[in-house]
Homo-oligomer: A and B are copies of this chain.
């Protein structure tokens, strides 16, 4: 079996595992669980983690150039091995978007905008869970429930930063940095998309004029060609 065939078959099961992880991780961080429930959730998360790990290993074994694939997918290994980077597993859901787009085949700009909106949404959700996980029980923390975490994520990704809530732990600050960089990227992409659209619209008029001039050149050459043809026919007739 080739790596490509494997990835085609594992695509949907992996999306399912991501969704299960999304729900289980959300419950673990947000809800106040009893010991039994907590163990059940832990089990579910472990199972999704094993699924991700199996997919990684099989992909590695099926890769035609194993060392190269290993180096290019180092980030996947890091996300798998470090428990701290657990929330990043949620970004796996972006493959869902890739599958959907492959089917539809939208225009470039529309595709980019969908991508940005969904990525920003996932980033905000994953960031909120991650910061709550890190700050919930920290001393001097001011992010202690999911709603505050979500609000803080929004003020961070938009670079507003009121300062009514902010992370105090190392992990929480790393999440914040991720959100800030995400926010700058989102702003850049939104602006660029709009600029591209506007420039295109304004240019269309100019292009129309140029096309008309090109058209007149084409007519001129066409007339020249028919003149030469007439000349040629004339010579022909005199020969006979």
Contacts and interface: CB of A to CB of B under 8 A. Distances in A.
Interface string A140-172: 000000010001001110111111101000100
A125 B71 CA distance: 27
A189 B194 CA distance: 7
Interface in A173-192: 173, 176-177, 180-181, 183-192
Interface residues of A, number: 66
A206 B201 CA distance: 13
A109 interface: yes
A137 B189 CA distance: 39
A167 B225 CA distance: 76
Copies in the complex: 4
A202 B201 contact: no
A192 B187 contact: no
B158 A159 contact: yes
B221 A227 contact: no
Given A223-B225, A225-B223, A238-B239, A181 B158 contact: yes
A232 B222 contact: no
Nearest to A216: B218
Contacts of A185: 190
Interface of A: 108-109, 112, 147, 151, 154-156, 158-164, 166, 170, 173, 176-177, 180-181, 183-203, 206-207, 213-214, 217-218, 220-225, 227-232, 234-236, 238-239
Which 10 residue pairs across A and B have the least CB separation, nearest first?
A: A192-B195, A160-B161, A163-B163, A188-B191, A162-B163, A158-B180, A192-B194, A162-B166, A196-B198, A188-B190
16 contacts: A147-B170, A154-B177, A154-B180, A160-B161, A161-B162, A162-B166, A192-B194, A192-B195, A193-B198, A195-B199, A199-B200, A218-B220, A220-B225, A224-B225, A231-B231, A234-B235
